[in-house]
Amino acid sequence: MPRKRCCGLIDEMPVCRNFIPGCKTDKQPIVVLLEEIEAIRLKDRQEMEQAECAAYMGVSRATFQRILYSARRKIAVALVEGCSIIIEGGNYMVKNRVFECTDCGEVWEVAPCTAGGKHGYEIACPKCGSMKKMKLEGGKKHTCGGAQNQDHNKGGCGCGGH
């Protein structure tokens, strides 16, 4: 019996979890796991190197390669055969968000943003109370825009939104 694979770390939940082809089909939907979507995001969308992706997700390079291969195969089948894609389940943990205050330099972690939870732009620095902060992600700093940011609720505002 194979040992259970360790959890892959994901940054945030996907904005959209169902994709339906424009044509009528009686094919069964394809289920793509959340860690598989994260692998696609890191490797194909962010264009990170495979070793960097594996480290970012907290899995070995071999495990990352298996996750990525599985995701690409499922998506290819869905596109070629006209199947719906449902993104759900898997063996994953959502990463905490890390912020740095631009006023006092304090760095702190916040649990993942959930429905009804606070977005990054709504969270004040625990040390000085400032609302001016940057989101730290993979060694890079991103501005934490807020509701005025047109990418808000698309996960692009820096809050790790839903």
Phi/psi at 52 (5° precision): -65, -40
Q: How many domains does the chain have?
A: 2
Kindly state whether residues 54 and 79 are assigned to the same domain: yes
CATH number of residue 82's parent domain: 1.10.10
Closest CA to 97 of 31, 49, 157: 157
Segments forming the whole domain that contains residue 88: 8-93
- Tokens 């730290």 sit at which residue? 136
Give the Cα separation of 47 and 112 in Å (integer): 24
Binned at pLDDT 50, 70 and 90, residue 13 comes out as confident
Question: Are 109 and 120 in contact, with CB atoms under 8 Å apart?
Answer: no
Where is the domain boundary, 93, 123, 148? 93
Whether residue 76 is predicted with pLDDT greater than 90 in this model: the reply is yes
Q: Which residues pair with 107 in a beta bridge?
A: 100
Which residue type, as a one-letter code, is found at position 137? E
Considering the domain architecture, whether residues 146 and 76 belong to the same structural domain is answered as no
Q: What is the pLDDT of residue 4?
A: 54
Over residues 95-107, the mean pLDDT reads 87
Mention every residue, 6+ apart, whose C-beta is less than 8 A from residue 154.
Answer: 15, 161
- Phi-psi category of 23—alpha, beta or left, where left has phi over 0 and alpha has psi -120 to 50? beta
Poorest-pLDDT segment among 39-48, 67-76, 96-105, 110-119: 110-119
User: Are both 13 and 44 inside the same structural domain?
Assistant: yes
Is the pLDDT score of 150 beyond 90?
A: no
pLDDT in tens, 125-147: 899 999 888 887 766 777 765 44
Is there a single domain that holds both residue 34 and residue 80?
A: yes
Residue 117 pLDDT more than 70? no
